[in-house]
A and B are shown apart, each in its own frame.
Chain A
Amino acid sequence: MTNFAQTSPQSPLQTQPRTLYDKLWNAHVVHTESDGTALIYIDRHLVHEVTSPQAFEGLEINGRKPWRLKSILATADHNVPTLGRHEGITDAVSRLQVETLDKNIEKFGVRDYFGMNDARQGIVHVIGPEQGATLPGMTVVCGDSHTSTHGAFAALAFGIGTSEVEHVLATQCLVAKKSTSLLIRLDGNVGRGVTAKDIVLAIIGKIGTAGGTGYAIEFAGSAIRALSMEGRMTVCNMAIEAGARAGMVAVDDKTIEYLRGRPYAPQAAQFDQATAYWRTLHSDIGAVFDRVVEMDAAQITPQVTWGTSPEMVASIAANVPDPAKETDPVKREAMERALQYMGINPGTPIAEITIDKVFIGSCTNSRIEDLRAAAGVVNGRRVASNVKLAMVVPGSGLVKRQAEAEGLDQVFLAAGFEWREPGCSMCLGMNDDRLSPGERCASTSNRNFEGRQGAGGRTHLVSPEMAAAAAIAGRFADVREIL
């Protein structure tokens, strides 16, 4: 056990110092079994078309109804086309899945649904916060592992499987066991051109993709406090890529100002009442974490993944590592297999790797701040001639509209980017946006697994600024030299 800060002597009247995770967990326990398994209450249930059809079917078969309709916010994001949307979905299997969601929403009487043609439609993890439907102190679940995103608002947010989607629909609760706690503290200032994405990739590079397994992570320290809400969402989004179901950040003024006036957030006097509670949502001084990892933010450089796991990551200034120098045989074999799949030789300077496609989007990096940052790099430049496709997929209809109001679409279009409709798109390629075998992509998404963006496709994860720089250079380039 490690202390977060020096332990102050507690008088018997004072309660034990608690972590943010302790507070969120304790506030939601409905019942505890003798082995510590608890029934926890779920405040917000985000629903999308891929992981919900079997859950709704299960409800129907058992003659059950959703417990609390107003907890549900639903949208169609994974299968939706990003081109020619007014023509509908051409792939019959994808279309059936979206139509099944439409039907379930109607059949079960869900009121808050941003269907494919709703102006507010978008990636579920973008629209929740954007609408103020994700609030501090909430438990937030969704049949999607990137639900950890919402922890940026000091919510306890995590992904669940379809059986659990059905369980939450039917009971508003989940059976769960408390995780252990991991504090990742980043102090210091990041350099120019270093973003939230680089921070989280560097964290994963350090602790590994299983480093957070079994933990709920709290991200803290001056470098996290310095991030915007969008940046914090990017960091929490990829907590799952470090193995942790949940990532979270304490409430501060930025959290509260972000939420003020959002449609689903409390309004007027109730907002002030809520704020008073939300401000208690931080780890107490002296709170004890099961594990603490400290990093110096000033040491973090722009990151590029070179392999088929997010932990296979390096600085833009580095060379691709050599498996021959790895002593662990399981790791060495994984590196060899990854490099073979990626078509890269050990020792290649990352900045010499050329690319075929660029994808700026996904629940990790498709918010307005991401698009502004990428447009800042692109402005007045052209996409390199060897790049077959460079696309920007805004995270939601409202992000798209905001970007257009700011003229960002024109910046991208003038440079040779495509400007698409919102959705998950080429992060996982359930719609038509995919890599072909052997194609190499600079992507702002979250997973570089084999085949993730299309069978045989090769994904390199980067920040929006780095993706923009790669589009212009036709290879990975150090954005710090461009800015």
Chain B
Amino acid sequence: MEPFRVHTGLMAPLDRANVDTDAIIPKQFLKSIKRTGFGENAFDEWRYMDHGEPGVDNSKRPLNPNFVLNLPRYKGATILLTRKNFGCGSSREHAPWALQQFGFRAIIAPSFADIFYNNCFKNGLLPIVLSELQVDHLFNVGMATTGLKLNIDLERQVVEVPGAEVYRFEVDDSRKQSLLNGWDEIGLTLRHIDKIRAYEASRASTEPWIFPEQRG
């Protein structure tokens, strides 16, 4: 996984609450058996005027000129600012894949849906929770200032508006360390192989029906 330490980038505001994973990446693109190729279809139904399908050349499709991420001033944005409960709905990891492959490195919102929040960390995408007031302020500044860039420092756990506010955010230490170092979580878990085996042996003695393969 690509580590996340410090990032400075253009912020794009998506002023909607409860953005669901069906909106982030519609179902027809979930048929892919790969981990890549989702970026061009991020927010497909909002971003294009026509209906998208896998295998279509997206560069030839008509863009929705009113969709915020299509506005020239937000071209190249790497930080998404949005409203509460972002990423609700299905567990599809295709949603963070699509956002990351679109170019985002961080998402700022007052709250995230649990599974989506979790999935982001597995993909080097940093979800940042700020208060409603702070998010409101960023929306105001973002609308008023063309080309607003934010600085995000995971080690210090801060979002900085250059020359202005510094907002501190919370993140679990384990998640932070994994992201800072780009660790392979499976590799980390396998350090506890003896504990897992011991746990299984203990459970198999008290709840043998969980382990039918050990019968006879």
Contact = CB atoms under 8 A, between A and B. Distances in A.
A and B assemble together? yes
Interface stretch (B3-11, B154-162, B205-213): B205-213
A97 B22 contact: no
A35 B54 contact: no
B85 A210 contact: yes
A135 B18 contact: no
Contacts of B34: 54
Interface residues of B, number: 62
B189 A51 contact: no
A143 interface: yes
Of the candidates B83, B85, B196, B210, the one having the most CB atoms from chain A within 10 angstroms of its own CB is B210
A97 B122 contact: no
A213 interface: yes
A93 B115 contact: no
Nearest to B178: A175
Contacts of A54: 33-35, 93
Interface stretch (A155-163, A224-232, A286-294, A375-383): A155-163
Contacts of B17: 330-331, 334
Interface string B86-116: 0011111110100000000000000111110
B141 to A, nearest CB: 18
Interface stretch (B24-32, B59-67, B72-80): B24-32
Contacts of A337: 16
Interface in B1-52: 16-18, 20, 22-23, 26-28, 30-35, 45, 51
Interface string B149-182: 0000000000000000000000011110000000
Given A93-B55, A330-B17, A450-B45, A167 B92 contact: no
Given A159-B115, A330-B17, A144 B90 contact: yes
Contacts, number: 192
Contacts of A273: 209
Given A64-B186, A210-B18, A330-B83, A163 B207 contact: no
Nearest to B199: A30
A31 B195 contact: yes
B73 to A, nearest CB: 21
A116 to B, nearest CB: 15
Most buried by B among A36, A243, A273: A243
A277 B199 contact: no
Given A31-B195, A135-B209, A166-B186, A243 B91 contact: no
B45 A455 contact: yes
B23 A243 contact: no
Given A31-B195, A33-B174, A449-B23, A170 B186 contact: yes
A471 interface: no
Contacts of B33: 53-54, 57, 96-97, 100
A160 B190 CA distance: 19
Given A161-B118, A163-B123, A167-B185, A37 B192 contact: no
Contacts of B83: 330
B190 A170 contact: yes
A266 interface: yes
B207 A137 contact: yes
Contact of B209 (A64, A93, A96, A274): A274
Nearest to A138: B210
B1 to A, nearest CB: 9
B206 to A, nearest CB: 8
A161 to B, nearest CB: 4
A447 to B, nearest CB: 6
Interface in A37-77: 37, 39, 41, 43, 50-51, 53-54, 57, 62, 64, 67-70
Q: Pick the most buried of A69, A162, A167, A331: most chain B CB atoms within 10 A of its CB.
A: A162
B40 to A, nearest CB: 16
A41 B85 contact: no
15 contacts: A30-B199, A39-B195, A41-B203, A54-B35, A57-B35, A78-B30, A93-B55, A94-B31, A163-B122, A171-B189, A172-B200, A210-B84, A210-B88, A447-B20, A447-B90
Interface of B: 16-18, 20, 22-23, 26-28, 30-35, 45, 51, 54-55, 83-85, 88-94, 96, 111-115, 118-119, 122-123, 172-175, 185-186, 188-190, 192, 195-196, 199-200, 203, 206-213
